[in-house]
Structure 1
């Protein structure tokens, strides 16, 4: 049986050493600071990105990979063997990345076995799906089994982002200046999630970081059954910002596996450097 090959894009925020150890192929988005362009996770590391973000008077812009970039990756994999390819990407509600991959698929030679999946999620919310898919591929599972696994995890995944400041939401046009000013004065911490349609929305607003983390635990208790869960805690600048949330998750849930990861440039552009996120999924074969 051929081994399924897994492809994703840089917004999955999978730690580089984990991605490389599992043989996950990466197609990067691009980040533009004025006239300077960087390939996310390749030319621009996460720490460097947040340094530039804080220093920049204007938000950077981001752009999806072109169909040609996806085509090059798909052709390299399918020309080398008959292995099926499963390509999992950032929500189509946030980016044209999924559409670029789909278009590239139509440009392949007949017989090339490529499946493109819209994760309807972002950051390690689908990075966890990609990692699970890669582990399943390594264990010899079929394309159909891997697709079923990804779809099941996508339905069961729960995630919340805690934004430290309203500044970057305001710069990106998601809230007005008056709302950002009042929110900052009152120490308001927005809690964000992603809808079933794959779009970011505001779940709640809480005063103070500690209360906001407690509210996230309440939300997850409502979301999740008593099954053991796998979690990832993501942070932007400092892991110290993420440790309290990690500790609360360990205290209130049966956590079978946990890891830290970094919020990448695309999500970080809109949330800013103080963002913390939790991704939780009932245990399957994710890691």
Structure 2
């Protein structure tokens, strides 16, 4: 029985310290500013990205990894341990072709390497929270079957809400209609967004102003998690102070056993824009 290794992609926005601690393999997506191409989190950090975004007249574009990139990583892990079981967890297939690239790579390998590819139906640390929980279990020596059981629990339990500072980026990237974006801006509407069961962005609720949005999110988490011990992840797009304040509120109201603060990287940042805050919560395993 081999060890379980977890592969993910850069849109999981997992802090580098956790990537190293848990021995994760992270395959980067790409960001394109005109003729310039950068690897998400490798050749372009979140800080550098938001600086470039503010200075750029055009919104950048993004692209997924190739199947070859995934195949290379899967083969590397198999060379290190021929009996390895790989669980590869990725950005929602409704938002990107990343899952498809990973799946093609796994099929190319056939029976040579044990790879299970998972569509997280999530983005940013909403993927990360699943990856980290499963990687911690794998690190404790759990077999593939136990790890996959935990993956499925997490996909049913982990909940994410996010708030964007402006609807401009979601509109320009085709996630919402232009009329909704203009109306939202005029009325100072703060939509609370989430991801549905299929992994698509949808408006959970519309409120006026950030304070009401934060209050409504806390209320919804209370309804869903109560005083169960939880893992909370907050990812932010160039707005650390507001993110820290939100985390303090979470710690005051909930039984937070693991708290992770992270930055929304270049790829997800391209689609949601600066000022975004995303909060992901799941129950921890007892």
Please indicate the TM-score interval, normalised by the length of the shorter structure. Answer: over 0.9
Structure 1 counterpart of 2:99:
98
Determine the C-alpha separation between the residues in 2 that align with 1:178 and 1:195: 22
- What residue ranges of structure 1 are gaps of 5+ in the alignment? none
Which deviates the most, 276-285 or 140-149?
276-285
Change (3 A) 1:179 1:153: closer
Is it true that 1:180 corresponds to 2:181 in the alignment?
Answer: yes
Structure 2 counterpart of 1:229:
230
Structure 1 counterpart of 2:64:
64
Determine the C-alpha separation between the residues in 1 that align with 2:4 and 2:93: 23
Determine the C-alpha separation between the residues in 2 that align with 1:79 and 1:106: 18
Structure 1 counterpart of 2:269:
268
**Could you say what secondary structure the match of 2:206 adopts?**
strand
Structure 1 counterpart of 2:204:
203
Structure 1 counterpart of 2:23:
23
- CA contact under 8 A between 1:164 and 1:209: conserved in structure 2? no
Shift, 1:171, TM fit: 2.5
Structure 2 counterpart of 1:133:
134
Which deviates the most, 166-175 or 21-30?
166-175
Structure 2 counterpart of 1:87:
88
Shift, 1:273, TM fit: 0.6
TM-score after normalising by structure 1: 0.94
User: Within 5 Å, which residues of 2 pair with 1:29-68?
Assistant: 29-68=29-68
TM-score after normalising by structure 2: 0.94
- CA contact under 8 A between 2:235 and 2:263: conserved in structure 1? yes
Structure 1 counterpart of 2:194:
193
Shift, 1:155, TM fit: 0.6
Q: Which runs of 4+ in 1 moved over 4 A?
A: none
Determine the C-alpha separation between the residues in 2 that align with 1:64 and 1:138: 28
- What residue ranges of structure 2 are gaps of 5+ in the alignment? none
Superposition RMSD on alpha carbons, in Å? 1.6
C-alpha deviations, 1:43-62, integer Å up to 9, x for none? 11011111112222222111
Determine the C-alpha separation between the residues in 2 that align with 1:249 and 1:281: 13
- CA contact under 8 A between 1:126 and 1:154: conserved in structure 2? no
- CA contact under 8 A between 1:65 and 1:100: conserved in structure 2? yes
- CA contact under 8 A between 2:78 and 2:84: conserved in structure 1? yes
Shift, 1:177, TM fit: 4.4
- CA contact under 8 A between 2:239 and 2:276: conserved in structure 1? no
Shift, 1:109, TM fit: 5.2
**Could you say what secondary structure the match of 1:110 adopts?**
coil
- CA contact under 8 A between 1:159 and 1:279: conserved in structure 2? yes
C-alpha deviations, 1:126-157, integer Å up to 9, x for none? 11111122211211100111111111011100
Count residues with an aligned counterpart.
285
Change (3 A) 1:147 1:245: same
- CA contact under 8 A between 2:175 and 2:201: conserved in structure 1? no
C-alpha deviations, 1:169-225, integer Å up to 9, x for none? 232233444543442233221211011111111111221111111111122223324
Determine the C-alpha separation between the residues in 2 that align with 1:176 and 1:3: 46
Change (3 A) 1:237 1:107: same
